[in-house]
Structure 1
Amino acid sequence: MISTSLVFVAARTVRRAAIVCAVGLLVGYVALSSFSSRYGTSTSLTLDSKSAQTALSVAVSAQESAGLTCSPKPTLTDVVLFQRGRNEVSVLTFDEAIKASSASEGSIRRYCT
């Protein structure tokens, strides 16, 4: 026969294991939901004169003062801001920017329409 003290010990062990599993699942759910809320959201890009991309912000300001709207999303346009170095941003046509980018001379930074 099984003594009643062993039954109580087994029941207590099962209850504790169930509580530990439930708390673990709850902590895991909260952790996953808090991390997943950050994925899939877009962040806005803010350029200011204090950033390391001062030449780019000056070029964007010049194009926007001319009535164009500059965006980092690729669009077919004749005005492309192309950055060759840290401090050199030039205005190229779309074709010239594609050729220079494929030759690894720099990178296309903004498309202005």
Structure 2
Amino acid sequence: MISMSPVIVAARMVRIAAIVCAAGLLVGYIAVSSFSSRYGASTPMILDSTSNETALSAAILKQESAGLTCTEKPALTDVVLFQREGKDEVDVLTFDEALEASGAREGWIRRYCV
């Protein structure tokens, strides 16, 4: 048997550890760069100001024929168009009723009519 000195054994261990660390860093760099290019980019959000829903369109038309202007921008008013979860019809609620129903997660506020 060939006997190796402890210096040679330590040198081989250091080389193996350096190669393993370098390979791990390379794999980590590739993984992080591939995920950051996919998940780091922002995607544009397109908001549609028109609605295809006939119930909402009819409710807006009714309020606008009464002389009110309906907008998506929040406003302090007594006429709020509210759509309940899972329903197609749009209800006309007061501001307080709409906030209470929205807070209870019964649906969402569709328009504010001033």
Q: Give the TM-score of the pair, scaled to structure 2.
A: 0.53
Equivalences for residues 96-111 of structure 1 within 5 A: 96-98=97-99, 101=101, 107-111=108-112
C-alpha deviations, 1:59-98, integer Å up to 9, x for none? 34x2578672421x53212331122462221333424534
CA-atom RMSD in angstroms: 4.0
Letter in 1 for 2:69: L
Q: How many residues align structurally?
A: 104
**Whole-Å Cα distance in 2 between the matches of residues 64 and 36 of structure 1?**
43
Superposition deviation, residue 11 in structure 1: 1.6
Letter in 1 for 2:45: T
Q: Contact 1:68/1:112 (CA < 8 Å) preserved in 2? A: yes
In structure 1, runs of 5+ residues without a counterpart are none
Letter in 2 for 1:17: C
Aligned partner of 1:86 in structure 2 is: 87
> Bigger radius of gyration, 1 or 2?
2
Change over 3 Å in CA distance of 1:29–1:69 after alignment to 2: farther
In structure 2, runs of 5+ residues without a counterpart are none
Aligned partner of 2:18 in structure 1 is: 14
C-alpha deviations, 1:24-54, integer Å up to 9, x for none? 134225424642444xx783443542xxx44
Q: Contact 2:82/2:93 (CA < 8 Å) preserved in 1? A: yes
Identity %: 41
Q: Contact 1:81/1:112 (CA < 8 Å) preserved in 2? A: yes
Change over 3 Å in CA distance of 1:29–1:64 after alignment to 2: farther
Q: Give the TM-score of the pair, scaled to structure 1.
A: 0.53
Superposition deviation, residue 58 in structure 1: 4.0
